[in-house]
Amino acid sequence: MINFTLSKAQTEFRDYAHQVAVEEMRPISLECERTEQIPESFFWNMQKRFWAGSAGQARAQAREGEENQSNMLSMLSQEEMAWGDAALSTAIPGPGLAAPPILSNGTPEQQMRFLGPFMDGQLHWGALALTEPGIGSDVAGMSTTATLDGDEWVLNGHKHYITNGARADLVITFATVDKRKGREGIRPFVVPKGTPGLIVGRIEEKMGLRASQTAELIYENCRIPKDHLLAGRQKDTRAGGFKAAMGTLDATRPMVGALAVGIARAAYEAACQWVKEELPRGYPAHKRHDIEQELEELRQELQMSRYLVWRAAWMADQRIPNSREASMCKAYAGNLVMKVTAAAVRITAPGEDSELKQFIHKWFRDAKVFDIFEGTAQIQRLVIARRMFPKVNIP
């Protein structure tokens, strides 16, 4: 049964992640947003501090003698990292969004071959290429193709909005082997960095998460070995690729929800601090009471959002299908982070500019994408409705 009380080891792991956010992320957050650049020292510091040493020990302690907690631990760390800076969080070295499809669809040999290099202590990134121009969340409408030519797959197509796409050592690319089959023709492929025909296009200029690298990828007769197809664990490959894409989203949507909770919490805490320390003297008592009541309601919603994320993560750890719960936590948290950051901007509007207000304005800009990526709010509601009413024909 799910337990919303964290164990001692889980609490220590969360606290360590928060310490990393305080010491490594907040001090450079505003400068990284301004320049849209991340110092290389940050990557090495995160490699040493978060993926080794104390953090590694905390993970081991949290897992020791207990059930699988990998998703739950990820949610705890993601919230703290986003509290520090969500853009920097997405840039932390590691397999990232490439890991779920490799783990779910790759053979043991493929898992070792493609994920093993991430354990060598060097800086490596993974990326997931799913979204295409013109199709948005309609994965079944994918137009990137993969054609088998002897012992090689030849990929042609165009992907965009790919997090860490330009720096990734490998990109999990979803493509169709037969457009006529729709979703049943989709397959996941591993495309290593430097593969001829894999072209990095523009790096997007964004309103929020400005320090996070979002790239365009173009595939022009991009040839990869035949064994780079991730279908070794699928008994029936007819819909395996589409299921792999949806399974990846079931794993990553709670992660997005946790990031949204982290930003919302940061904005909420900043607004509370401003009310306590900087609210102008002589401010009408009844208006102050209204602000305090609003903040208390937001605190309650934050806790509800966090519990939705934890439930989806717990279900994933228990290998319980969580498509509906993953969409629920992503939809709720994506809406809440917009609500909280907008309230923080409005509440702190009086008075002079300050670093605190600069952070709040940054978080407001960062918040919008959480209603969009990994599936828009409309798509989440559609997924939820289909899981609630599976026999009803919902367009």
Q: How far is CA 354 from CA 72, 83, 238, 364, in A?
A: 36, 19, 56, 15
**Please, which residues bridge with residue 148 across strands?**
153
- Of the residues 24, 80, 325, 374, which is catalytic? 374
Tokens 């409005």 correspond to: 346
Q: With H, G, I as helix, E, B as strand and everything else as coil, classify residue 41.
A: helix
Does 278 participate in catalysis according to the annotation? no
Structural contact between residues 237 and 292, judged by C-beta atoms closer than 8 angstroms: no
Tokens representing residue 48 in the block: 């040493």
Tokens 């919603």, located at residue = 301
Q: Report the alpha-carbon distance of residue 101 to residue 173 in Å, rounded.
A: 10
**Residues 17/80, Cβ–Cβ less than 8 Å:** yes
Could you tell me how many residues make up the chain?
A: 395
- Other Cβ atoms closer than 10 A to 133: 12
- For β-strands 198-203 and 186-192, DSSP reports them as unpaired
The type of residue at 173 is T
Name which of 25, 27, 39 is nearest 80 in CA terms.
25
Residues annotated catalytic, as ranges: 374
